[in-house]
């Protein structure tokens, strides 16, 4: 983990943002690529948002990239392009909550402050046998207190890293490795056999499913028509095929024709299916059905918020994973 070998606050900040909601193995290649592309705060602040989203493509939770970019602008404007040292100043930046602020302050600057990311939350809850719903405000406050009690004077960095490591390799979500845990003699859960019930397992809810239809308009040179999604919200700022959700009782084709009329004011002829892609977001699942289309009445919009993706070039467009898969289907078909 390259971010463990640095004391550079910028690099630690980038790694902590990437590690929010994403596993270490997934983050590693993105981290290296991102830092090659944006080696410091100024280069990140200067870059167009499109470039930042492109470097983030596939990592998901794109608000993190948008906030990182905005925060870099704030750092250049108000902090002389330096990452601030205190939890309070860090927390004032877009995309940085209390735990991320604590992690950056502790790891980059050695501050004696606690952390409470997902791994730390589990480790601390088990160490102190905090039972019940850990998301309640009472539990939250208790966990912060307990996490703070682990920090010895002058050992903020070591404590943050140790808690993270323990959570990543020993005090695992399922089947914690208590017999080899260096903290087992201090752990309140292990001797009482509570480690498997803390935190309590939540019943996995089945996610609702939606059929989404997408239009693939292809120019004579092979370029594909894309539209930029609104700047905030799910996949905000990314480029995607024009699409819409299938309504009750609609066929996929009817849904696509309706969506194109409503969104682009064009009448379309649907030629054939490109393929279908399954994808899960945090709160729902989709099947994205792509169709080659041609306009028959009305022209595709041009200008701001629209673009043509050259077929053989990654270019500047960051696409959601499902749309990127449709592009791959088209590539493969062309190669046959
Ligand atoms: Fe976690 Fe087990 Fe170690 Fe306690 S003894 S901290 S439950 S791994």
Q: What is the mean pLDDT of residues 166-177?
A: 94
Q: Any long-range contacts for 97-104 (C-beta under 8 Å, 24+ apart)?
A: 98/144, 100/16, 100/17, 100/20, 102/160, 103/12, 103/16, 103/160, 103/164, 104/9, 104/12, 104/13, 104/16
Long-range contacts of 6-14 (CB under 8 A, 24+ apart): 7/108, 8/108, 9/82, 9/83, 9/104, 9/108, 9/109, 10/40, 10/41, 10/83, 11/35, 12/83, 12/103, 12/104, 12/107, 12/108, 13/83, 13/104, 13/108, 14/68
Q: Whose CA is nearest to atom 2 of ligand 1?
A: 178
Whole-model pTM: value is 0.87
Nearest CA-CA partner of 325 in 225, 240, 208, 235: 240
| CA 188 to ligand 1 center in whole angstroms | 8
Pocket perturbation via mutation, ligand 1, pick of 172, 177, 190 by most ligand atoms within 8 A of CB: 190
* pLDDT range class, residue 197, cuts 50, 70, 90: very high
Dist. CA 148–CA 87, nearest whole Å: 14
The response to whether residue 150 sits with its C-beta less than 6 Å from ligand 1 reads no
Q: How confident is the model at residue 1 (pLDDT cuts 50, 70, 90)?
A: low
Residue 315 has pLDDT above 70, yes or no: no
Q: Is ligand 1 within 6 A of the CB of residue 122?
A: no
Residue with the smallest CA separation from ligand 1 atom 5 is 184
Based on its alpha-carbon atoms, the radius of gyration of the chain, rounded to whole angstroms, reads: 24
pLDDT bracket for residue 314 (50, 70, 90): low
Q: What is the DSSP letter of 216?
A: E
Please check the confidence at residue 108 and state whether its pLDDT lies above 90: yes
Known catalytic residue at 314: no
- Kindly state the average pLDDT of the residues 143-153: 96
Q: Give me the mean pLDDT over the 78-104 stretch.
A: 97
Mean pLDDT of 50-64: 94
């Amino acid at each position: 983990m390259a971010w463990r070998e640095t004391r550079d606050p910028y690099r630690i900040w980038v790694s902590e943002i990437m590690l929010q909601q994403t596993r270490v193995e997934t983050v590693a290649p993105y981290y290296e690529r991102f830092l090659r592309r944006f080696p410091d705060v100024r280069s990140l602040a200067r870059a167009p948002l499109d470039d930042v989203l492109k470097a983030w493509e596939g990592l998901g939770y794109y608000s993190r990239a948008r906030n990182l970019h905005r925060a870099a602008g704030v750092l250049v404007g108000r902090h002389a392009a330096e990452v601030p040292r205190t939890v309070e100043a860090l927390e004032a930046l877009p995309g940085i909550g209390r735990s991320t602020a604590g992690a950056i302050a502790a790891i980059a600057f050695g501050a004696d402050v606690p952390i409470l990311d997902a791994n730390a939350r589990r480790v601390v809850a088990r160490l102190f046998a905090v039972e019940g719903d850990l998301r309640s405000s009472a539990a939250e406050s208790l966990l912060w207190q307990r996490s703070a009690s682990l920090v010895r004077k002058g050992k903020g960095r070591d404590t943050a890293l140790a808690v993270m490591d323990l959570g990543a390799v020993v005090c695992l979500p399922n089947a914690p490795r208590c017999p080899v845990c260096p903290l087992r003699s201090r752990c309140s859960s292990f001797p009482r056999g509570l480690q498997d019930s803390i935190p309590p397992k939540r019943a996995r809810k089945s996610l609702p499913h939606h059929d989404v239809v997408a239009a693939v308009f292809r120019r004579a040179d092979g370029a594909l028509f894309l539209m930029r999604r609104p700047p905030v919200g799910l996949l905000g700022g990314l480029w995607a095929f024009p699409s819409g959700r299938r309504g009750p009782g609609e066929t996929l084709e009817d849904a696509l024709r309706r969506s194109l009329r409503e969104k682009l004011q064009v009448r379309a002829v649907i030629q054939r299916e490109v393929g279908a892609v399954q994808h899960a977001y945090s709160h729902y699942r989709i099947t994205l059905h792509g169709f080659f289309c041609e306009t028959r009445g009305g022209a595709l919009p041009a200008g701001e918020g629209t673009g043509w993706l050259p077929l053989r070039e990654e270019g500047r467009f960051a696409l959601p994973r499902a749309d990127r898969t449709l592009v791959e289907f088209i590539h493969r078909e062309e190669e046959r």
